[in-house]
Amino acid sequence: MDLFSLKGKTAVVIGGGSGIGEAVALGCARQGARVICLDVNEAAARRVAERAAAEGCVCESGVLDIRDSAAVDGAFNDLDATYGVDIAICTPSINVRKPIMKYTDEELSRVLDVNIKGNFHVLRAAGRVMTPRGKGSIILFSSVRSQVVEPGQGAYAATKAGIVQLARAAAAEFGPHGVRVNTIGPGVIETPLTAPIKANADWYNAYAAKSVFNRWGKPEELVGAAVFLASDAASYVTGSVIFVDGGWLAADGRFTPPGM
């Protein structure tokens, strides 16, 4: 028995058009799942679906903005009626890197609307279709910023901590109905979201040094955690956070004592 196989399962991957979402969508498809790749950028989602199809995988695409609760509800209702939704993975987030005192109300709303409200919409919609059938796995994406912060990350960090607590609450509520809810906490990963950091050599190198591997992570390195949580290998795992951060949270400093 292949504990990590996703054959016979339908996985809805939101934010699947680029970055971590793209890697996870392709990873689930390669493990045998029927993947529904959804993204606010329809063309990007279609490109990923075509790439998966070229590899002989089953992957469809569509457009979805998680800020629109009615659209999220409609998408899950339609997909569940057609295929039955076994796995829901939500990857989108945005960050406005500014000190708290310089944040505008509009900027705060932008971050909250995607990172908190958007994830809540997905969590609620997935729970509504999964709990009546008594099974399912929901995976949200948090960050190391749910645990540690730096100047300019206040709103983003708060939302990433909030995602963890949303998932834990949902795990407690959905668990009696056979539905698991977990989160993945990436470290610094090379994605479109982190492109401004990569463009600054000092900033890029400082973040690389926070990893015990002295490098950034790649989107493909998140796939294993996602497949694990989606699969039967994680049948007794719920309310948990898996940090995929290259040791960022494990090491509290960069100084190596003499003699080490």
What does the radius of gyration of the chain's CA atoms come to, in whole angstroms?
Answer: 18
Could you identify the residue written with the tokens 């912060």? 149
DSSP 254: S
Nearest-angstrom CA–CA distance, 161 and 83: 32
Contact by Cβ (8 Å): 59, 259: no
Nearest-angstrom CA–CA distance, 69 and 125: 9
Report helix, strand or coil for 14: strand
Contact by Cβ (8 Å): 186, 245: yes
Would you name the residues annotated as active-site residues? 156
Could you identify the residue written with the tokens 């795990």? 171
**Distance set, CA 250 to CA 147, 148, 213, 245 (Å):** 11, 11, 12, 9
Per-residue tokens: 213: 């591997």
The neighbour count for residue 167, using CB atoms within 10 Å, is 26
Nearest-angstrom CA–CA distance, 217 and 190: 6
